[in-house]
């Protein structure tokens, strides 16, 4: 076995095989996970506002409607894939229900990405309705998992910082 590719390290009295990629992801998670999540939340808010404006002023031009949404779906899909990668290497990842919800969001955004790619290539037909419905169902089920995964006994007030994930999940469930 080549030591430059796989290195045996001690991690809390356990011997763990770590590739250079795994070590890099571990370092990223330890030092930047909070910053990445905050950046993503800000990016998602900006893209949501932009999508709302695009929907209100929708044009028939592919550059005015399809291209921006295609870019948004790429960004959403990549961010959710990174969330799942981060959760996979966290020492204390969120619960299974929460991760399942995020995975279903990733699938939903992936489905919408395919929908916008087909629209860009003018190959939609009935695919648009089917893909939109499949993506929406993925978001709906994912939202149920996220609400369940973020609920705790004292999250009834919207103003507490500790209940922000729960209320965000509820908002997404209502929107789904």
pLDDT in tens, 118-160: 888 877 677 888 999 999 999 999 999 998 888 875 666 666 6
Ranges of each domain in the chain: 33-175
H-state helical runs in the chain = 20-56, 66-89, 96-120, 127-150, 164-175
Phi, psi at 168, each rounded to 5°: -65, -40
Tokens 């795994």 locate to 22
Top pLDDT among 142 and 19 is at 142
pLDDT at 80 over 90: yes
pTM (2 decimals)?
0.75
pLDDT at 73 over 70: yes
Cα dihedral across residues 173, 116, 107, 25: positive or negative = negative
Pull the structure tokens for residue 79: 């961010």
Lowest average pLDDT, out of 38-47, 87-96, 161-170, goes to 161-170
| 3 state DSSP class of 10 | strand
- For residue 3, the model assigns a pLDDT of 43
Q: Residue range 156-170: average pLDDT?
A: 70
- For residue 96, the model assigns a pLDDT of 94
What span, in angstroms and rounded, lies between the C-alpha atoms of 160 and 173? 20
């Amino acid at each position: 076995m080549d030591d430059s590719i796989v290195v045996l390290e001690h991690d809390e009295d356990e011997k763990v095989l770590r590739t250079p990629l795994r070590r890099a992801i571990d370092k990223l998670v330890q030092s930047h996970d909070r910053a990445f999540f905050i950046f993503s939340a800000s990016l998602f808010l900006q893209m949501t506002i932009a999508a709302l404006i695009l929907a209100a002023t929708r044009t028939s031009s592919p550059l005015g409607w399809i291209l921006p949404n295609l870019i948004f779906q790429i960004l959403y899909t990549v961010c959710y894939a990174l969330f799942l990668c981060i959760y996979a290497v966290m020492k204390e990842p969120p619960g299974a229900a929460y991760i399942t919800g995020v995975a279903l969001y990733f699938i939903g955004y992936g489905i919408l990405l395919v929908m916008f790619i087909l629209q860009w290539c003018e190959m939609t037909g009935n695919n648009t309705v089917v893909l939109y419905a499949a993506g929406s169902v993925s978001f709906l089920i994912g939202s149920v998992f996220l609400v369940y995964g973020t609920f705790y006994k004292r999250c009834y007030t919207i103003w507490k910082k500790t209940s922000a994930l729960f209320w965000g999940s509820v908002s997404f469930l209502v929107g789904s």
